[in-house]
Homo-oligomer: A and B are copies of this chain.
């Protein structure tokens, strides 16, 4: 059990109690936009997160009910992490972070994805939420 301390009852503050660090949302990003689902896949991201931090954050996310951990279908030595509905509900936050980053910093992003988010934000949110639920990719 990873108990988090709640600093106040403000919804923004309680959200940040869980999501407010440099790594947690990157894990969810990898699950939503890159279809990743295993420990090894998360480690391969460009930001190179440390193994102990990843293990810690996955434990927090599981204990907070944002994702579930299960033995992989193919190998017993692998685990598959999947988003719960509470985790899927993070997608709108990720989309806003993409838009703000793309518009106010030097970043690299697939132009068609950016256009998709800018012109039809709600539709794009629903699309990626559907993908995350179904886990259609690999």
Q: Tell which of B20, B86, B101 touches A25, judged by Cβ atoms closer than 8 Å.
A: B20
- Alpha-carbon separation in the docked complex, A86 to B100 (Å): 8
A47 touching B7, Cβ below 8 Å: yes
Segment of A50-58, A69-77, A104-112, A130-138 engaged in the interface with chain B = A104-112
B13 touching A108, Cβ below 8 Å: no
Q: Which B residue sits closest to A18, measured CB to CB?
A: B105
User: How many chain A residues touch the partner (CB < 8 A)?
Assistant: 45
| 4 new A-B contacts at CB < 8 Å, known A13-B47, A15-B101 | A9-B106, A12-B29, A15-B100, A20-B21
Which residues of chain A have a CB within 8 Å of any CB of chain B? 6-23, 25-26, 29, 45-48, 86, 89-90, 92-94, 96-109
Enumerate 24 A-B pairs (CB-CB under 8 Å) in ascending A order: A7-B48, A8-B47, A9-B46, A9-B108, A10-B29, A10-B46, A10-B107, A11-B107, A11-B109, A12-B29, A12-B94, A12-B101, A13-B46, A14-B106, A14-B107, A15-B98, A15-B105, A16-B25, A20-B25, A89-B103, A90-B100, A92-B99, A93-B96, A96-B96
